[in-house]
Amino acid sequence: MTRYVTTIDLRRCVGCQTCTAACKHANATPPGIQWRRVLDLETGEFPDVRRTFLPMACMHCGNPPCEEVCPTKATTKRADGLVAIDYDLCIGCANCVMACPYDARSIVHASHYAYGDQPL
């Protein structure tokens, strides 16, 4: 069985946020909702400081906490490794939002897209 993964070479990421914009455009997520974020991290103490860009999205965890807490089985891990949501089963309890250690889940309670009332 194929197992899907996404790889990111952090040495090559320059924090341009183009992936953030592309995800926003492709999925028409509502204002304030970002399925893809790039963290801009500064570490160390002057003058020995370092700036790191860290792209963040759903990690499709091997043992997803969001699946474990979902009372309706709306969230499931598929055999190909992807974590999927069945919107018809979701009751909007937000358990998954609280359980996700990567802050990858978000919840909205109305069909509201970035470019109007319909997805692209």
- Candidates 21, 41, 84, 91: give the one binding ligand SF4 (CB under 6 A): 91
Stretch binding ligand SF4 (CB under 6 A), from 5-13, 30-38, 40-48, 99-107: 99-107
Amino acid (1-letter code) at residue 9: D
Q: Is residue 29 at the binding interface for ligand SF4, with CB under 6 A as the rule? A: no
Sign (positive/negative) of CA torsion 38, 35, 62, 5? negative
Q: How far is the CB of 66 from ligand SF4 (least distance, A)?
A: 3
Q: How far is the CB of 89 from ligand SF4 (least distance, A)?
A: 7
Which contiguous run of DSSP H or E holds residue 96? helix 95-99
Stretch binding ligand SF4 (CB under 6 A), from 8-16, 20-28, 45-53, 57-65: 57-65
What are the phi and psi torsion angles at 88 (to 5°)? -75, -25
Query: DSSP class of residue 116?
Result: B
Distance separating alpha carbons of residues 68 and 45, to the nearest angstrom = 40
Residue with smaller CB distance to ligand SF4, 28 or 93 = 93
- Candidates 8, 23, 94, 114: give the one binding ligand SF4 (CB under 6 A): 94
Q: Provide Rg for the chain, Cα atoms.
A: 17
Amino acid (1-letter code) at residue 30: P
Residues lying near ligand SF4 in the complex (CB under 6 A) are found at 58-61, 64-66, 69-72, 74-75, 83, 85, 90-96, 100, 102, 104-105, 107
